[in-house]
Each structure stands twice: as structure tokens, then as C-alpha cells.
Chain A
């Protein structure tokens, strides 16, 4: 059945495709739960990708898992214009929504007068998204980049899934989205002169992916500890505290940026940015370590869904800056230490006054 589906892709409209994909997902559920280890990984990847093709959706993010689309949903909700925000607000909670590319601005897709042209290549990772957020080069604006969010359901586009260019992990295929003279709604173009929006994207897109990867893996690990009656173990609680603190920091950071109270011209801002970034990495690494200490076998089985989440987390952490590079980005080159006393004094003064 799996092979025949792959060999005969069905090209249908979105509505039909959506229904069909739901039915197909129900069909494949038993494989996820019981027989996943007996299915050849490559066949599984192709089969799942076929579902996405049918649904006319494409996976984008680096670190979002199917179980944790709420992180992506929240990101897109904050980033998007009012029209998309309403749609996302009104959607069912478990509807699969959102993920975004975290790649650097690309000159493959260009935008002029809100018209998109070009193509973009992603590592898919098998998650499904309805919305795409892209960094776009605007050639007539001194090559500054803007962020564009577009709704895949409404955007004329073509999706290729090519298996020739393997990128990094073997967990998923790359895919390509092609947009041809698509005029995007004005509300869905962000960035450009809007400093706050640009700041938002620059700061939060990576952090959001990181938090998504962390929560995905932690949920897997925590479920394992509950199943094995060790969820109150000191090590588990400590990791849980780390994860919560990272999530809370992420929320505070996005709140500040969306309320326009971030001030990049202060030392305080840069110190926080540096510490928050590396603390998040520390939390991610601690979740990975916990998985290793608990010897969770499913994280190491090459074909397992859990192992994809694990590999995502490890790959993500490996791409982040090293701990020993922690420094005060604001200070003079010869003095990179952070003065905790002044940090506290300045902040307390600001809160009290």
C-alpha cells in the first residue's frame, strides 16, 4: 500500500486533499504506534511526504515536531498581519499550523511591489505547515531584507520534493517551493521600515525554533520518566526547571519586542541577549543529556519518530555558539566580563522608578 501511494501521487485541490490526508493519516497511525521499526525508513519518508504533497502543504522549520505546532502557531500569530492572525485565532487548536524557514535572506526569491517571484529550497523534517515566513531580498531597497508571511492555501505555488540533494540529517527530504508572480496581501509583508518587526524576526525566529526543539524533546523524555516512575527524580526536576525558565525567558523577550520596549542601544539589551541565547542552549543540552542518561532507546533508533526529535535537538545545539564564547557584546574588546552588580542596580532602578 505504501509503495503504491508513493508511485501514484494524487493531484487534488486543497479541500479534497485535506480530507484525503486526514484519512490517510488515520490509516498510518498504527504504523506510528506499533510497527514503525519494521518499516524501511526511506519508504516511510516517501510515504509521509506524499501525504504532504496531496495536502498541498510543505514542511519548513528546522525544529518543529508534529506534536508541538503550538510554538510555531504562536510565532506566526505574533508575526502575521491581522488577516492571518484572525484565521489562526479561529482555527482549531490541534489543527496543523505554521512553521517557518530559518534560513538567511535569500536572493532566490525576490519581491517587488509585493509581488513574489522565485524559488526556495528547504530541509523538510516531515512537519506540516500552512504558513510560510520568508526573508526576502528587495532589490530596490538597498538589498535590505523583509519578512513575508504567506498562506500556502491561497498562494499559487509549486512544490517539488527532490531527493538528490541531501542536506545534513537523514531524517527528511529537502523540498522546493516555487512562487510565480504572486502578489501578497499588504498586511502580510513585515519588516522593511518597521524597525520593531525586523527586530522581532531577527530576535525571535531562531529562538522560537530552539524552544520548539527543546519542548519537543523534553516532552518525549518526560513521558518516558513518567512511564518508568522516575519523573520526580532530582535530575528530571532540574531539567524541567531549566526548560520552564527558557520558555519564560522566550516569552518575556517576545513580549518586550512586540511592545517596542526593546532598546538595542543599551548594554543591558546586549547582555540579556547573550545570556538568554546561551542559557537556552544550556537547557537544550541538559534535555539531551537527560535523554542519554536515561538510555532512551527510541531516540537512537534510526527510523523512529522519536529519534527525529532527538536528532533535531542535537543538530540544533551543535549549530549554536559555544559556551566559552560567552561575553559582554557591548563592552570594550579588552574587557568582556559582565558586571552583575551594575546589571542588577540598573534594572532595579528602572523597575522602581
Chain B
């Protein structure tokens, strides 16, 4: 059987999985550190982490389908349970087009990436506390 573990699509899925794990660890660290103040940047992170997790899950499902892993779709295969579990989980998550800034005004649900970067840099370079709202400069 051809060795596929260094195939681009496999590596990309692996990178997604690792990044999702990093996101999850960051979220845990935020909670453990007591960083749960209601603020725009917190909600933006939560939103993106959630949907990036879904994206990763789907990329693994896609990979399984592209590789035609037969035992994932056999009824009596133990592995199919894992596959079905993943699909069920993904199907219950919010849809991608719902990605938005949960904090934003109804008329402006876009995330201001520049402000997001700036408030973080200001926090750890200049010691300025996170503002509740990511106001545009």
C-alpha cells in the first residue's frame, strides 16, 4: 500500500488538528486564569475557536472520504462508530455561515481584525487591560 502519511492533504489535516488542540488549550487556559470577563475579544475568540473546531472535524471526515476508508462506513465495523460519531457531532454544530461577531451591533457583525491584534499587543507590551469593546481606531 502506498505510504500516504506525507501526502499534502494528510499534512494539512494534521496541521488543522494540532491548531484546534492549541485553540482548545488556550481556551482552557483562559478559563483557568479567570479570564472570563464579558468582553468583545473573548466572544470573538470563542466564536472562531468553535467554528474552527468544526472545520477541522469536517476536514478529517473529508480526508476519510477521499481516502475511501471502507471500514468507516461498514455497519458492523468498530471504526464506523468513530466515523458516525464525528459526522453526528459536526451535524449538530452551528453552520459556517453563522460565523459572526457575537458582540457586534446587529448592523455590523464583522470582526475588526486590526483592533483584535492591537488590543492584544497593547495588553502584553504596554500592560493596558483588555477593553470590553474592540473599538476601531
Q: A85-B126, A93-B137, A248-B48 are in contact. Are A77 and B11 (CB under 8 A)?
A: no
A245 touches B48 (CB 8 A): yes
Partner of B19, one of A279, A340, A347: A279
Q: Is chain A's binding surface mostly helix, strand, loop or mixed?
A: helix
A238, CB-defined interface residue at 8 Å: yes
Interface size class of A (residues with CB under 8 A): 35 or more
> Complex formed: what's the CA distance from A234 to B95 in Å?
9
A232 touches B120 (CB 8 A): no
B81, CB-defined interface residue at 8 Å: no
Chain A residue, CB-CB nearest to B32: A351
CB neighbours (8 Å) of B117 from chain A are 70-71, 74, 247, 251
B15 touches A275 (CB 8 A): yes
A238 touches B55 (CB 8 A): yes
With an 8 Å Cβ cutoff, the count of chain B residues facing the other chain is 39
A78, CB-defined interface residue at 8 Å: yes
B11 touches A234 (CB 8 A): no
A237 touches B19 (CB 8 A): no
B96 touches A237 (CB 8 A): yes
Question: Which chain A residues (256-291) contact chain B, with CB distance < 8 Å?
Answer: 258-259, 272, 275-276, 278-279, 282
Question: Which chain A residues (216-265) contact chain B, with CB distance < 8 Å?
Answer: 232, 234, 237-238, 240-245, 247-249, 251-252, 254-255, 258-259
CB neighbours (8 Å) of A252 from chain B are 22, 26
Question: Which chain A residues (313-329) contact chain B, with CB distance < 8 Å?
Answer: 323-324, 326
Q: A234-B97, A237-B51, A343-B21 are in contact. Are A278 and B125 (CB under 8 A)?
A: no
A352 touches B32 (CB 8 A): yes
B15 touches A326 (CB 8 A): yes
B48 touches A241 (CB 8 A): yes
Chain B residue, CB-CB nearest to A238: B55
B52, CB-defined interface residue at 8 Å: yes
Partner of B15, one of A85, A278, A340: A278
Q: A71-B117, A215-B113, A348-B25 are in contact. Are A241 and B99 (CB under 8 A)?
A: yes
Kindly supply a per-residue 1/0 record for chain A positions 35-75, scoring 1 wherever the CB is within 8 Å of any chain B CB and 0 otherwise.
Answer: 00000000000000000000000000000000000110010
Chain B residue, CB-CB nearest to A252: B26
B124 touches A259 (CB 8 A): yes
CB neighbours (8 Å) of A22 from chain B are none
B85, CB-defined interface residue at 8 Å: no
Chain B residue, CB-CB nearest to A344: B21
B89, CB-defined interface residue at 8 Å: no
Q: How far in angstroms is the closest Cβ of chain B from A101?
A: 21
CB neighbours (8 Å) of A85 from chain B are 125-126
Q: A70-B118, A326-B14 are in contact. Are A245 and B99 (CB under 8 A)?
A: no
Question: Which chain A residues (339-353) contact chain B, with CB distance < 8 Å?
Answer: 340, 343-344, 347-348, 351-352
Interface centre among A89, A245, A338, A352 (most CB of B within 10 A): A245
CB neighbours (8 Å) of B29 from chain A are 351
A323 touches B121 (CB 8 A): no
> Complex formed: what's the CA distance from A344 to B8 in Å?
24
A347 touches B118 (CB 8 A): no
B99 touches A240 (CB 8 A): yes
A351 touches B25 (CB 8 A): yes
> Complex formed: what's the CA distance from A261 to B96 in Å?
35
Q: How far in angstroms is the closest Cβ of chain B from A276?
A: 8
Chain B residue, CB-CB nearest to A67: B114
> Complex formed: what's the CA distance from A78 to B25 in Å?
25
Q: How far in angstroms is the closest Cβ of chain B from A56?
A: 26
Q: How far in angstroms is the closest Cβ of chain A from B46?
A: 12
CB neighbours (8 Å) of A254 from chain B are 121, 124
> Complex formed: what's the CA distance from A77 to B19 in Å?
27
Residues on A close to B: CB < 8 A?
70-71, 74, 77-78, 85, 89, 93, 215, 232, 234, 237-238, 240-245, 247-249, 251-252, 254-255, 258-259, 272, 275-276, 278-279, 282, 323-324, 326, 338, 340, 343-344, 347-348, 351-352
User: A89-B126, A244-B52, A323-B8 given. 10 additional CB < 8 A pairs?
Assistant: A70-B114, A237-B97, A238-B55, A243-B113, A244-B113, A248-B26, A251-B120, A254-B124, A272-B22, A344-B25
Residues on B close to A: CB < 8 A?
6-8, 11-12, 14-19, 21-23, 25-26, 28-29, 32, 45, 48, 51-52, 55, 96-97, 99, 111, 113-114, 116-118, 120-121, 124-126, 137
Q: A-B pairs with the 9 shortest C-beta distances?
A: A93-B137, A237-B96, A323-B11, A275-B18, A232-B97, A74-B121, A324-B6, A279-B15, A241-B52
